[in-house]
Structures are given as structure tokens and as C-alpha cells.
Structure 1
Amino acid sequence: MENVFNKFFNDYDDWYQTPVGQFVDQAETQTLVKLLQPKAQQKILDVGCGTGNFTIKLAQQDCQVTGVDIAPNMLQQAQQKLQQQQLTAQLKIMNVEKLSFLDNSFNAAFSMAAFEFINDIQSAYQEMWRVVQPGGHIVIGTIQKNGSWANFYESPACHGTAYEFAHFWTAEQLIALDPKHFVQQQDCLFLPPNLPENNYNLKADQNAAQTTNIGGFTCLLFQK
């Protein structure tokens, strides 16, 4: 995994305060929760937790969350946000390709917008599988190859950002990691980037899904 986010971390959270960022966050969160189905007191692993966006959301639901990332600067921001909100979660510097957890340590595991920056996604998935208990859910959320958002992030407009180091995957490529245990795919972000800000809302995104085949972001559910 390229440790690009130890460099591109200072303004990472600012985008989530914009109207577009808030919409994206709502859409991705709704999609994740639908598939992960988190419950209070569950032990849940957040792979590539970054500044703790989803770690915090699940901690607010009384889940016992552990977030791992290879970028210490981002983990420091996550810890500060947890403290500000008086929430508790475990944060660890760790590479998903070699997790230092025992087998069957978690009720569920997920990764949101991190597989784009992982070198060996097969090893990453196998490690997530290993540490989840039988019957547990594994959700991989990623910017979808050939979708409008991936096309934008691959364009010259995003050179000089973290996305210059990203590799985007199709849903089919990720399902192929473990087709036997694949359960469901759920897409969002059917609206393309660079629309006027007031165009972005969940209802408009649902309407766009009627005419757009590929969501800009996809979540894939596997069950152990």
C-alpha cells in the first residue's frame, strides 16, 4: 500500500464540509450500513480508516470499532476527533496485507475507499476474511472503475492529488477475490462529479440510477 495519505492529509476532511462532500458521505454511509448491518457492541474492523470518518459513525452506534491505517498523520487526526466527540475506538498503525490480529477476532470488517491504494488486494481480502468470525460480514467499498467518478479521478484534473496514486477496480474484479462467498453489490454516486452543488442529494442520485448502469462508488458484501 502506498503511504500517500501521510502526505495528503492536511485538508482531507475539509471536502466533507462542502455540499458535494456531504452528499457523497451520506450516500456512501447509507450503502455501507445497508450491507454491513452493524449492531451495538459488535467488534468491527475498519481497514484503511484514515481520519476516522466511518470509525466515528460506528462508534456513535456503540460498536466496538478498531481502525487500522498505515498513515500515522491521519490516525492522529482520527484520535483527536474521537476525543473531541468523547467516543472510544482502538486505532492502530497496521498494513491490511499483514494484520496482527488473531483469527476470528471481529464480528465484521469493512474497508471504504482504501482498496484503491492497496498493492495486493488478494492478500488484503484474505486477511480481512481471516480475522472475521464465521457468519460475519465483510464489505469492500470502492470508487468503481469505468464510473464517472473514477474517470474524473484518473483525469489530469486530479494530478498532484492522492488519486494520482490510485488504482481503480471493477466490481467484477473484486467479486473475483471470493466469488463463492459474495452475497450482494450495492452502488451509489450515480450522479457525475462537477455538477452544480445544488444538484446533489440522495433522491436525485436514486433517480440517476434509473439511467446510469455503473455507480461511481460500489460496496460489495461477502459473508464468511
Structure 2
Amino acid sequence: MSASSIAGWMATMNGNKTISFFDTQFERQVREGDFALNPFERLALPYLYGKILDLGCGLGNLSIKAARRGCAVLALDASPNAIARIKRVASTEKLSITAEQVDFDSYAIADMFNTVVAIGLFMFFPRERAIELLADAQAHVLPGGAIIVNVLVGGTTYLDMFEPGHYYLFSESELREHFRDWEVLEFRHDSFPAPGQTVKEFVTVVARKPQNPEG
């Protein structure tokens, strides 16, 4: 798997070193015109509808595809290059996308959405913040709406993209517990080889919020 593919799969996160690393990869992808959906985005696409929040949107490939299908998208990322690319496409094609550069260390969701997407984001934070971000995303899905979450999980041995001591690998059982009151539509584990005979272990969850959630 190429470095540019990894960058596309891992939405940006906190830590200046890490943001700089991925921003460089985004620059390369833009130069090469590499805007194909990755496997996680392809899995998410059929579930996207209505008003969408794309957390850690990267170059916006999924956001742009959804907007072309008539959705209204708020696309957020820490990378200035990624956000600049999305704004250019949205302006040229007159798409309903609002793209903003944000700091996910402190960002809090302010609106409700039919669909919330977070592909490759939450693992780039310490445990407390990772869980807080997940809970905030869940809380801002409208009843009957969907959330798509993709994270690296325990068993991952490729850690080069992380700030030392500034990441969290969820367990599969932990993710299932976070979605125990939701209708789980997809729960998929994918393994990918990485440099140095290491491995990346991903879990992708697609879940629908109950129409009448408790609390």
C-alpha cells in the first residue's frame, strides 16, 4: 500500500509533526490526481444521506461524492491543503459543501446530522479524547440517522503515523459496547500489511441510531 494511499485512509489529527506528514501526502495526491475512494469510503457511501458531517475528511473524496449526489456536507479536517482542495472543487462544481480547518483537540460538534462519518480519525488522540470524540459524534446523529466509524484497533503494529503517547487503539469489544443500543448494520475487521513486516488492523462500524433513543 502506497504512502499516498495511507494518507487518504488516515484523516488528519492533532500533533504538528503528524499533521505536517499527512499534509505533505495530501499535496502529493493532489499533484497526482489521486482522488479515488478507499475501501472504507466505498463501504460508507451507500449509507450517506441528507445532512452529513465528515470528521477528518482528508481530501474530501467522500464528501465530494456525497455532495454530487445531492447531500449537504460539512467537511472538517486539520489539513489546510485538504480543505483548500475541497473548497476549490465545491466552488467550481457549485456543490453544497462547507469545508473548514479545525483543531480536533478542542472541536465540539454544534449541529445535528442525518449522517456522521469519521474514517481514520479517533485513534489519533489519547484514550479520553478519543472516547469523547466518539460520544460527541454519536450524540449529534439525528434519530434514525447513521454513523460510520473507522479506527485502527488493538493488534496494529504499524505505529509510525502516531505522535508518541498520543494515540489510542480501541478494542473490538469496546466498540461493540459503544454501539450496544444502536442497530449495527456493518461491523467489519480488515487487516493490511504495512512496512517493516508490521500490520494495520481496522474495524469499521456502520450503525443506525434508534428512532426513539433513550436519554
Partner residue, 2:113: 106
Moved more, 56-65 or 88-97: 88-97
How many residue pairs get aligned? The number is 187
Alignment match of 2:146 (pick from 119, 132, 137): 137
Query: Which sections of structure 1, spanning at least 5 residues, go unmatched?
Result: 195-213
Partner residue, 2:10: none
2 CA distance for matches of 1:80 and 1:18? Answer: 14
Question: Residue 3 and residue 163 in structure 1: after superposition, are their counterparts in 2 closer, same or farther (change >3 A)?
Answer: closer
User: Given residue 98 of structure 2, which amino acid in structure 1 is its aligned partner?
Assistant: Q
Question: Residue 172 and residue 99 in structure 1: after superposition, are their counterparts in 2 closer, same or farther (change >3 A)?
Answer: same
TM value normalised by structure 2: 0.69
SS of 1:183's partner is strand
> How far off its partner does 1:100 sit?
4.6
Q: In the TM superposition, what are the counterparts of 1:1-224 in structure 2 within 5 Å?
A: 2-4=14-16, 5-8=18-21, 9-12=23-26, 14=28, 25-34=37-46, 37-39=47-49, 42-95=50-103, 98-102=107-111, 105-119=112-126, 120-146=129-155, 150-151=156-157, 153-154=158-159, 158=160, 161=161, 166-181=167-182, 183-187=184-188, 189-190=190-191, 192-193=193-194, 216-224=201-209
> How far off its partner does 1:127 sit?
1.5
User: Given residue 32 of structure 1, which amino acid in structure 2 is its aligned partner?
Assistant: A
**8 A Cα contact 1:183 1:222, kept in partner:** yes
User: Given residue 67 of structure 1, which amino acid in structure 2 is its aligned partner?
Assistant: A
User: Given residue 115 of structure 2, which amino acid in structure 1 is its aligned partner?
Assistant: A
Question: Residue 91 and residue 173 in structure 1: after superposition, are their counterparts in 2 closer, same or farther (change >3 A)?
Answer: same
Question: Residue 26 and residue 126 in structure 1: after superposition, are their counterparts in 2 closer, same or farther (change >3 A)?
Answer: closer
> How far off its partner does 1:140 sit?
0.6
2 CA distance for matches of 1:62 and 1:145? Answer: 37
1 CA distance for matches of 2:29 and 2:202? Answer: 17
Question: Residue 92 and residue 145 in structure 1: after superposition, are their counterparts in 2 closer, same or farther (change >3 A)?
Answer: same
Larger relative contact order (Cα-Cα within 8 Å, sequence gap ≥ 6): 1
**8 A Cα contact 2:109 2:140, kept in partner:** no
**8 A Cα contact 2:64 2:90, kept in partner:** yes
TM value normalised by structure 1: 0.66
The superposition leaves residues 84-127 of structure 1 with CA deviations (integer Å, 9 ceiling, x where unpaired) of: 5553301123455642524xx21111100111213412221222
Q: Percent identity?
A: 19
Question: Residue 125 and residue 82 in structure 1: after superposition, are their counterparts in 2 closer, same or farther (change >3 A)?
Answer: same
> How far off its partner does 1:14 sit?
3.6
**8 A Cα contact 2:130 2:168, kept in partner:** no
2 CA distance for matches of 1:26 and 1:71? Answer: 18
Question: Residue 170 and residue 44 in structure 1: after superposition, are their counterparts in 2 closer, same or farther (change >3 A)?
Answer: same
2 CA distance for matches of 1:63 and 1:109? Answer: 12
Partner residue, 2:7: none
2 CA distance for matches of 1:10 and 1:85? Answer: 25
2 CA distance for matches of 1:26 and 1:217? Answer: 13
**8 A Cα contact 1:187 1:216, kept in partner:** no
Structure with the higher fraction of residues in strand conformation: 2
2 CA distance for matches of 1:49 and 1:141? Answer: 12
